[in-house]
Structures are given as structure tokens and as C-alpha cells.
Amino acid sequence: MTSQIKLSGSALRDKIAGLLGCLHADVQVEKGLAVTTADVFFVDETSVLFPKKVAVECKDWKKGLASSDLAAIYNLYKPSLDSGEIDNLLIIGEKELSQQPSRSVAALRDVAYVSFERFVFSLMNFSYVLQDNIAAYQIHDSSKNFIHTYVKGKNQTLEQAALHWISTDQNILLTYGGYGVGKTSFSLYFCKLMTERHRSGEFDRIPIRITLSQLFTKQDLKGVICSALTGADGAATVRNFVYNLFIQMNRDGYFLLILDGFDEMRHAMTLEEFRFVFEDMALLFEGRSKTIILGRPDSFFSIDEENAVIDAILTNVLGDLKRLTKIEVDLLRRDQVDTYLDNFLARKIDNTNIERLKEFKQRAVEDEFDILSRPVQLNMFTTIMSRLAVPDAKFSRYDLYFQFIYRFVQRENNKASRKFGEDPDGGWSLGYSDPRTIFMQKLAWWLLTEKKENRFRAHEVPSEFVPQSIRNTKGNDAALREIIIGSVVEHLGEQPKGVIGTKGPKLYFFPHKSYVEFLVAEFFCRENFSIEMYVTFFRYTNSEILSFIAEGPAEAVANMRTGLEHAKGTISPEVLLIAARDPAIEQEETKLSEGNTTPGRLYVYYQYLLKNKRSRQDIDSFLFGAMVKATSISRVGSAYALLSDYLGREKNEPLFEKFVTLVLNTVGIFKLKEMLSNGASIYSIDGPAAHMVFLSAAASIQRGIISVDLRDMKRFARDACQKSLYVSGFDGTPIKDAKIYSMSISGIRGLSPEVREMLLALPVNTKHGFSAQVHGGSDGLFSAFSNARVR
């Protein structure tokens, strides 16, 4: 009987020992006792005065233990219990005991039996989390009409893709998707689905959903997890929560983690901060862990940056990208949109305008399918469909948000009980002078740039956001309560009554991040920005905010162009497309064409020339003039960025010849000789020094021909703009014919005779590279070229 009892259990034993080791200092495996060997032995020091010595017998038998099995185990440990060698015996098996064995074990002194699942829950109880997973989905809007979205490029739903991934041994499912395609809805739905399967015994992991936007307000991942699982902000509480035990259990495969909103985590972070956070998250990706990460791809300026950053980080974290699957959520398909709207109209069958709505529905799907292909916008469309359904109606995404958000406010303003006194203008202008819309715009700007997450408590809202006239008549608390209730913000779940309060206050949020982006775009159009606000705007803006601005009021164009005077860092090319629409450019063109202006104006005028399909001669003249007049670091970098972008669009040897002539003549024969021999030293960065670094990074000479690798030139331009302004995409791959520019030195017109003679005297069969070493102090002049490649 003894050999039968001690057969199985090593894998279960090791799991149990690992979990206990997170809670207790003294944990031993295969501890020798008087008669037998305990699978696990630990000292429970919960009571410092009366620590208990506990032996654990592990049984992973497929069949449940019978009363005779329990009696045999007890007889082996009874001498140790009688002598005090151990205080308690804990038997852990895979299955619950049936009725008679339960009675048998209850009769034994200092002995307890527990299934492994109940043992885990005794360490940390996740029962409230499981209940909350289901409730969180049920109270979410998406539960009313959930749409199964597809994986882009595959005839596979997101649910099917996630279920397949769970069946593999991969650790991460990185799920991308633009705004409003249903990522959060899916995360709630899938968490609910897997919770139901866990409860029914079909899925052995506990699903846990965490919003990564909390990383804005917590110091690190540990803070986020502890906050999310210990009841902070009204979340479900894990009883007896221990962080280290949670990490160990995750590593051993007890959880399915669903992390929503990594783009909101990236949103306000530098690249290095983002790297640090991802590396901090490495603990969640180890062992048998399973983690779904969802977010928007617009955290990155380009696909190249996205791939470089994410792949590099995950390679460092995982060590093997085969442990990762990356998928993208597709927009809704035509049949899905049709079905959704048909179901909506079926509930409106008694509406007297049903035929007009059906006709408008058909026309809207035909003409505006791109807008309706995002679930968040499709839902918004049904809300205001009756208002939009007029003959020959056309609408943009901007129109949709404008109608939905501002008409809601207009209804509030028209309610006698909700008015904020008399309208001084005789008709508030929605988006410009109405106090409710101005409040929402300020709130959205604050959430984006300061709070850095789409949720807040009422008492956190800066008091100056509420118009003074309302505070004077209603008092601070009442005014804040009124203006929040009269906006489109919503509150999270069922929480204590009352908008204002410090004990258990409600958490508020905009129904979707795109609401914040629309309102920030409106704020940009209306508000008189300071220099600091412009800098902040370009730091936090994204493609969705810019697209709203592009479709919005004309005031945005001039504001965008003004803002570029103060922007630093990498900006989206969409910024230039908007700014280049400024009609004032036509009046300023003579001055702008000379190329002697700020980097922001250089970029905008270049885009203006491209947009208006100006002649090559006009563009060549402008770019060459900008290069000639560039002396400051910021101007030099911008001139190189513009020139390398244009040279990469189509082969342009005349412009390249003028540029090379300028560079070689400006550097001069003496510095060129140094660069081609032992290398030249650079101690101050100016125009000539920048040209020297460029030659080092991108140029070479062989057989009397000077060659420039335009890809290296683009990288140099990007590095040179590190402390100024750069446009995303300008470092893109040139067309095939423009990757390498080569020109015979003897045929370069305008080259000084002494430079030409010196270069032609170089040994023909040797490839000659230029070399320069940048030396610098702490004045920041050299940091702009710190990453430039020098030989």
C-alpha cells in the first residue's frame, strides 16, 4: 500500500512548493519524517507566537481518493503528528472528495484535504474577479449588440484567432487596431467568455483584465497590478493578494492576462520610458504565461518605427519572437454593417419615418462605408440617424462627432432646468462660446496632456474649467455637478450616489477615446495657444486628432501653421498637409521661396509646392536656396531633410550636382584632405561642419566618381534634426533609381579647380571614404549629430 501511495505527485508537488515558497520562508521538498517522506514541508508563521509545522501530501491521481486511501496516508504521518514532529497534515489532490471520504477525513485529527483549485484559492481568492469579469461586460454598451470583428487579412474572427493562440505554447498575442474598431469591447467580451469556460471546467486559467492606462498614474507594473487586484478604483478585490505569489502563479500558467490600451501607456512616454515599462512587464511573459495585449498602432510615427521598437523590445524581453503572435483587428465588413443597421431599424418599425430611414441607411452605407466600418462610429450613427436622414445628405467623420456631441449639449441648453442663466450673445455658438462645449474641450485637453488617462474623479477637475458666472450663481460643487451631468462623459459602474464627494467618488470617462480626440481637435481650433501649449500639442497629438482637424473649421489651418514655429521633434506629414492649405502662403510666397526662414515654414512651403504640383525648377531653386542659407543647426537639419526627401522621390541629377558642388566647395580642400587621410576633427557645429559629417555618413569616392547613398543621407538628416523639427516618413526608402547618386568628379560643374584636382589625384582602384570625428562640450551643439555615422 505504501508504494501505491507514494507513486504520483511530483509535478503537483513542485507546483505547490513553488506557490508556498512565495508566502513562507521555510519550504522543503521531500522532507524526511519518522516513518515517511513528506512531499512538501513548510512552517506556517502566520502566528509568530505559535508557528505550525505542516506536511503536505500531493496526489494527482485521476480518480478521487477513497476513504481507504486517506486512512493509509494518515497512518504514515500519524507517528509524526503524535510526536509533534509536524502539527498538521494537508492532503492535496486534483479532485474534490466524494461524500464518504469527506466524512472520513473530517474525523481525522489535525488533517485536512483540499483540491488543488481550492488550495490555490485559499492562497488568493479570485472569486470576486471572476464575477466582475462577467458583470463588466454586461454593463458595457457593446453587450447590447456585440459585433464579432475579424483579423485583418484573414477570414477569421478575433475570437477564433485568440482561441487558436491559447491552444499554442506562445506567450503573447499582440492585438493592434485603429480607434473605434472594438478592441476594448472584445477584451471585455473575451474575458467574460473565458471566465464562463473557467467556471464550467473547460478552461484551467483565471482570466484577469487590466487597463494599461493606469501606468500613467502608477510608478511601475507592480503598482498597476496591486491597484487593479486589491479593490482600488472600485475594482474587484482578490482576497489575500500577494504580488510575488501572483507573479509565480502567472509564470506557472494559472492566469490569462488581458492588458488593454498599451497605446495609452505609450501615449505620454518617451521611447526610452516606453522601453523601460515594457522591460518591466517582462515578468508577465515568462514560463507558461499567456498575455493578450491590445492597443492602437498610432503610438508610433510610422510602420518602420513600430516594427523596430516593438520587435526590438520583445526580442529583448522574450528572447524569441516565435513566442509572440501579432494580429490586427479589421474594420467591419459590409455585411456586418448592413446587419447591424437592419437590426437597429427593425426595432424602429413603428417610426413614422421608417421608410425615409431605410432609404438613408442604404445611401449612407453606399457613400460613407468608411465611417460606418468602425463599431464606435456605427453606434454613434444610429443615435443621430434621424437627424442626418435628409435628402442628399452627406456627412464626414467630423460631422458625425459634431452632431453627436454638440447636439447633445444643445438639448441640455434648451432644458429650462438646465440653463446657465441668460445667453449673453442671444445664441451660444456650439464649440466656441457655449460653456458646456468649452468645458468638455478643456476637460479633454487636460485628460490628454496632464491626467494622461481617460478617467477622472469630479474633485480632480480644475475649478477654472467651470465658468466663473456659473460658480457665482450655483456655488463650486453645484456648478461642477451640473456641468458634468450636462456633458457626454459617463461614470464607471454602480458607485455611491452623488457627483461630488471624497469618500468613494464616482470615476468618470468619455465613452470612447475618439471623443477626447475630437474635443482636443476642437480645442485646438478655438483656443488661443501659447508657445508652451503648441509644444505640448505636437508632443501628444496623433493621426486621429489631426484627421479631425483636417476636416474641421478653417481656423485650424492658420493655427497649425503658427504652431509649427514652436514644434520640436518628429511630426506627422498630416500636419504639413493641413498647414499647407493656409491661403496666406500665396501672399508670402516670394519671401518663402528664397528659403531663408524658420524650419517650420520651410517644411510647409515645401509641402505647398508639392501639393500644387509646381515645376521641378521651382522646387529645385527653393531647396538649393534653403541649403545655401542654412547656418544654424536647426536650419541645416531641415534643409537636409527636405533635400533628401525630394531626391528620393525621383532621380534628379541636376539638383544633386548643385548640392555636391556646394558641399565640396564649402568644406574646402584642406578639410577634405584631412577627411580622406587621417580624419578631420570638428569642434563647433555650423554649416561647413554639418557638410563634413554628411560626407562621413553617406559619401565615398572610387575611380574618379563620387557616390552618395541616399538612405545614409536620409538617416543623417533625421539625426541632424533630433533637437529641432523632423517629418515622419522623410526617412522612407527612396525609389529604386534614386537609392544611389553617382557623378564623375571631372564633370561636376562649378567645382573649384583645386578641389577637383585633389579628388581626381586619389588612387583609382581604392574606395575612399571620408572621416570626421565630432568633439563636443556640454552646450548641446553636438548632441544634434551624436548619432550621425562617422568613419
Render pLDDT for 698-742 as a digit per residue (tens, 0 to 9). Answer: 999 999 999 999 999 999 999 888 888 999 999 999 999 999 999
Residue 291 confidence (pLDDT): 94
What single-letter DSSP state applies at residue 246?
H
Cell readout for 116 is 488543488
> Among candidates 629, 579, 568, 584, which has minimal Cα distance to 603?
579
How does strand 705-709 pair with strand 699-702? antiparallel
CA dihedral (244, 247, 249, 254) positive or negative? positive
Q: In which band, very low, low, confident or very high, does the pLDDT at 510 lie, cut at 50, 70 and 90? A: confident
Mind giving me the DSSP string for 578-625? HHTT-THHHHHHHHHTTT-S-HHHHHHHHHHHHHTT--HHHHHHHHHH
What single-letter DSSP state applies at residue 448?
I
pLDDT higher for 423 or 334? 334
Lowest mean pLDDT among 24-38, 218-232, 336-350, 670-684: 218-232
pLDDT higher for 309 or 455? 455
Phi-psi domain of 653 (left: phi exceeds 0; alpha: psi -120 through 50; beta: other)? alpha
Lowest mean pLDDT among 11-15, 102-106, 473-477, 591-595: 473-477
The residue-averaged pLDDT of 136-154 equals 88
Please give the sequence-ordered ranges of beta strands (E in DSSP) within 280-348, or none if there are none.
Answer: 291-295, 324-328
* CATH code 3.40.1350.10 region(s) in the chain: 2-123
Checking if the pLDDT of 310 tops 70, the result is no
Lowest mean pLDDT among 304-308, 473-477, 664-668: 304-308
Residue 783 confidence (pLDDT): 46
The residue type at 193: L
Distances (CA, A) of 634 to 256, 270, 283, 470, 687: 49, 21, 42, 47, 10
Domain 2-123 belongs to what architecture?
A: 3-Layer(aba) Sandwich (3.40)
Checking if the pLDDT of 217 tops 80, the result is no
Burial classification of residue 111, based on how many CB atoms lie within 10 Å of its CB (0-12 exposed, 13-18 middle, 19 or more buried): buried
Residue 501 confidence (pLDDT): 42
Instruction: Round to whole Å and give the CA distance between 375 and 372.
Output: 7
Distances (CA, A) of 709 to 648, 663, 713, 740, 743: 11, 15, 6, 5, 12
Per-range mean pLDDT, top range of 361-365, 417-421, 501-505? 361-365
> Among candidates 397, 545, 548, 510, which has minimal Cα distance to 141?
510
Burial classification of residue 496, based on how many CB atoms lie within 10 Å of its CB (0-12 exposed, 13-18 middle, 19 or more buried): exposed
| Residues in a beta bridge with 55 | 41, 89
The residue-averaged pLDDT of 457-465 equals 87
Q: In which band, very low, low, confident or very high, does the pLDDT at 611 lie, cut at 50, 70 and 90? A: very high
Checking if the pLDDT of 265 tops 90, the result is no
Checking if the pLDDT of 502 tops 60, the result is no
pTM of the model: 0.63
pLDDT higher for 104 or 490? 104
> Among candidates 521, 543, 563, 551, which has minimal Cα distance to 728?
543
pLDDT higher for 317 or 1? 317
Residue 723 confidence (pLDDT): 82
* CATH code 3.40.50.300 region(s) in the chain: 127-328
Residue 24 confidence (pLDDT): 87
Residue 87 confidence (pLDDT): 96
> Among candidates 681, 721, 735, 672, which has minimal Cα distance to 699?
672
Average pLDDT, the chain: 84
The residue-averaged pLDDT of 204-210 equals 91
Checking if the pLDDT of 666 tops 50, the result is yes
The residue-averaged pLDDT of 239-265 equals 85
What single-letter DSSP state applies at residue 292?
E
Instruction: Round to whole Å and give the CA distance between 606 and 725.
Output: 14
Residue 354 confidence (pLDDT): 84
Residue 706 confidence (pLDDT): 96
> Among candidates 205, 149, 157, which has minimal Cα distance to 180?
149
| 130 within 8 A of 195, measured Cβ to Cβ | yes
Burial classification of residue 167, based on how many CB atoms lie within 10 Å of its CB (0-12 exposed, 13-18 middle, 19 or more buried): exposed
pLDDT higher for 688 or 747? 747
The residue-averaged pLDDT of 741-760 equals 95
pLDDT higher for 147 or 419? 147
Instruction: Round to whole Å and give the CA distance between 279 and 263.
Output: 16
The residue-averaged pLDDT of 157-168 equals 96
Checking if the pLDDT of 543 tops 50, the result is yes
Checking if the pLDDT of 753 tops 60, the result is yes
> Among candidates 740, 743, 716, which has minimal Cα distance to 730?
716
Kind and range of the H or E run holding 89: strand 88-93
| 546 within 8 A of 574, measured Cβ to Cβ | yes
The residue-averaged pLDDT of 549-562 equals 88
Checking if the pLDDT of 552 tops 80, the result is yes
Cell readout for 132 is 466582475
Residue 618 confidence (pLDDT): 96
Residue 371 confidence (pLDDT): 80
| 342 within 8 A of 480, measured Cβ to Cβ | no
User: Which CATH topology does 127-328 take?
Assistant: Rossmann fold (3.40.50)
Checking if the pLDDT of 90 tops 70, the result is yes
Residue 70 confidence (pLDDT): 94
The residue type at 562: T
Instruction: Round to whole Å and give the CA distance between 633 and 720.
Output: 8
> Among candidates 258, 272, 256, 175, which has minimal Cα distance to 211?
258
Q: In which band, very low, low, confident or very high, does the pLDDT at 513 lie, cut at 50, 70 and 90? A: confident
Quote the percentage of the chain above a pLDDT of 90: 45
